[in-house]
Amino acid sequence: MLLPRILALTLALAPALSHAALFTDDSVVKMIDAKQFRKAMKENITQVVAFVAPWCGHCQRLAPEYSKAALGLYPLIPTYAVDCDKPKNKPLCAEQGVQGFPTLKLFPRGRHVAPLEFTHGERSASALYYWATRNVPHGVKKLYNFDDITPWLEENKDSHRAFLLNNGKHIPLLWQTLGNKYKDHFKFSLHRDRRGLSSEKMGFEKSKWGSSKVLFYPAGSVDYVLYEGIQKFDSLSKFFDSVIDGTADLRVVNEEAKNEEFAPDEKELEIQRRQEAQRIALAHGGFSSLIDFEKAVLSGQNPHGPDHAGYPGMMGEMPKDDAKPEDPIHNILKHQKQEEAQSDSSKAGKMAATGDSHQATFEAGSLSGQPQTAALSGTPAAPSEASTVVAQPKSAQETVASQPSAEGDAARAKDEL
Ligand SMILES: *[C@@H]1O[C@H](CO)[C@@H](O)[C@H](O)[C@H]1NC(C)=O
């Protein structure tokens, strides 16, 4: 008889399923206990913690979505999970006010800033990812115009200052996370040097398009140290830590940074490969998988409706080589836009719609708002009185800069400048 056999099979599988780990071995979400939680919260960085119970169905559905978001955030925003079913974790979960599973909390700055709870509805990878990246209290000052640089350096002369020149539209998440981590020690700013003109004005050789520069100004000084190490979170943290130590000669520290070899282990390389694949997929239409998204559209299901529980398991796969770019991506995006125009769709859905892969390519097309004929001051501290050109109004630049773009965001979250 078939039926009893199926039943028997189901029963045999049931215990195994309910005890299965929520997160697969390759997930970058780290399971932590109460002790590890307290240790993590000593770090002044933004971290996300999911309070879960392995038997809970919503947690099982969350896990793959959370893992995808975690991969995108790694290693800049660490992601954790606490199993509240374990007796030794129960006091922590109670203390954190956990009343249902999963409860997702973002700790903007370790235990120093009150946590935020994720209450945005659908717990999709994209919604979680955006939530995390939007809530880093970085304090990085954006210096829109070249002429804003010197006044900023002077206003903050008594502090150590970390200044980034790069060509991206957004503040890189890496710079934000460093700004957050070292807020008590340094002032952070950024100037968008889209075509390398500002670098040139500051006396550097005309830089290659796309190269970033980190300049460090010790407190009281108008001279900078050009950071020559690896432009990644760990290496920059090491450099900043040495500065805070105070005793080291900055140039020696910098020389050490310069000679540091980048030697990630195999596990780290594998994570990087998966991150790259995820970024590519993101650039092709967002975290929701194209294949499943298409299916949802064809079946007439509203992908943003209340029943939409995300499409686990598809992220991270490379788009197929033979997939024609015209279809089905464009049809899906078009459909999605129409849907959004018609109905009040979820926040996550709106963000996914901005993942049009054409959007970011506009970036290089137009000239920056920097005054082209401004004084070519040889040193960064030189006064800028010779500048007479009126710069583009800030508000216009802000609008451009804050335009959401899933692709831009994915690139922004890289662990490199
Ligand atoms: C972390 O932040 C707190 C509060 O802002 C501050 O008192 C503490 O010194 C910071 N720790 C580090 C290592 O920066």
The string of pLDDT tens digits covering residues 268-281 is 999 999 998 888 87
> Is 338 inside any structural domain?
yes
The dihedral built from the CA positions of residue 94, 100, 101 and 105, taken in this order, carries a sign that is negative
pLDDT, average across residues 247-254: 79
Q: How far is the CA of 184 from the centre of ligand 1 (A)?
A: 6
Q: What order do you get walking across the sheet with 186-192 strand by strand?
A: 141-143, 186-192, 160-166, 213-217, 225-226
- Lowest-confidence pick of 115-124, 256-265, 276-285, 376-385: 376-385
- Residue 304's pLDDT is what? 39
Minimal-distance CA residue to ligand 1 atom 7: 184
Side chain identity at residue 73, one-letter code:
L
Long-range (24+ apart) CB contacts under 8 A made by 12-19 are 18/54, 18/55, 19/54
Q: Which of 42, 43, 46, 112 to mutate to test the pocket of ligand 1 (most atoms within 8 A of CB)?
A: 112
CA distance linking residue 187 with residue 243, whole number of Å? 13
The dihedral built from the CA positions of residue 133, 49, 274 and 122, taken in this order, carries a sign that is negative
Q: Which residues does residue 216 pair with via DSSP β-bridges, in sequence order? A: 162, 225
| Residues 370, 333 share a domain | no
> Is 412 inside any structural domain?
no
User: How many domains, in total, are found in the chain?
Assistant: 3
| Residues 155, 105 share a domain | no
Q: Quick one: which atom of ligand 1 is closest to the CA of 182?
A: 14
The pLDDT confidence band at residue 197, using thresholds 50, 70 and 90, is confident
Does the pLDDT at position 195 exceed 70? yes
> Is 417 inside any structural domain?
no
| Residues 250, 154 share a domain | yes
Q: Which of 44, 186, 240 to mutate to test the pocket of ligand 1 (most atoms within 8 A of CB)?
A: 44
Q: Quick one: which atom of ligand 1 is closest to the CA of 44?
A: 1
| Residues 321, 227 share a domain | no
Q: How far is the CA of 44 from the centre of ligand 1 (A)?
A: 6
Decide which of 369 and 359 is more confident: 369
Give the burial class of 289: count Cβ atoms within 10 A of its Cβ; 0-12 exposed, 13-18 middle, 19 or more buried.
buried
* Helix 290-298 with 329-342: angle, nearest 10 deg: 60
> Is 266 inside any structural domain?
no
- Residue 277's pLDDT is what? 87
Does the pLDDT at position 324 exceed 60? no
Buried b (16+ CB within 10 A) or exposed e, 371-383: beebbebeebbbe
Q: Give the range of the structural domain holding residue 311, as residue numbers without chain letter.
A: 272-348
Question: Which tokens is 25 given?
Answer: 């071995």
The pLDDT confidence band at residue 392, using thresholds 50, 70 and 90, is very low
| Residues 146, 41 share a domain | no
- Lowest-confidence pick of 10-14, 79-83, 357-361, 393-397: 357-361
| Residues 378, 335 share a domain | no
| Residues 301, 238 share a domain | no
Considering the entire predicted model, what is its pTM?
A: 0.69
Domain boundary among 293, 318, 348: 348
| Pocket of ligand 1, beta carbon within 6 A | 44, 112, 184
Q: Which helix (H) or strand (E) holds 142?
A: strand 141-143
Tell me which range, 100-104, 253-257, 321-325, is most confidently predicted by mean pLDDT.
Answer: 100-104
| Residues 291, 204 share a domain | no
| Residues 239, 170 share a domain | yes
Query: Is 353 in a helix, a strand, or coil?
Result: helix
pLDDT, average across residues 10-21: 53
> Is 263 inside any structural domain?
no
Q: Which of 159, 177, 184 to mutate to test the pocket of ligand 1 (most atoms within 8 A of CB)?
A: 184
pLDDT, average across residues 9-17: 47
> Is 5 inside any structural domain?
no
Q: Quick one: which atom of ligand 1 is closest to the CA of 184?
A: 14
Say how many Å lie between the first and final Cα of the chain, rounded.
64
> Is 134 inside any structural domain?
no
| Residues 236, 199 share a domain | yes
Cα 282 to Cα 308, 329, 396, distances in angstroms: 19, 12, 27
pLDDT per residue as tens digits for the range 346-368: 433 333 333 222 222 222 222 23
* Sequence-ordered list of residues with C-beta below 8 angstroms from that of 152, at least 6 positions apart, any chain: 141, 143, 161, 189
DSSP 122: -
CATH number, domain with residue 161: 3.40.30.10
Minimal-distance CA residue to ligand 1 atom 1: 44
| Residues 303, 219 share a domain | no
Domain boundary among 348, 371, 386: 348
Peptide bond preceding 75 in cis form (omega within 30 of 0): yes
Does the pLDDT at position 369 exceed 50? no
Minimal-distance CA residue to ligand 1 atom 4: 112
Query: Is 92 in a helix, a strand, or coil?
Result: helix
| Residues 299, 278 share a domain | yes
pLDDT per residue as tens digits for the range 59-81: 999 999 999 999 999 999 999 99
Does the pLDDT at position 218 exceed 80? yes
% residues pLDDT > 70 (the chain): 63
Tokens 């997939």 belong to residue:
323
> Is 210 inside any structural domain?
yes
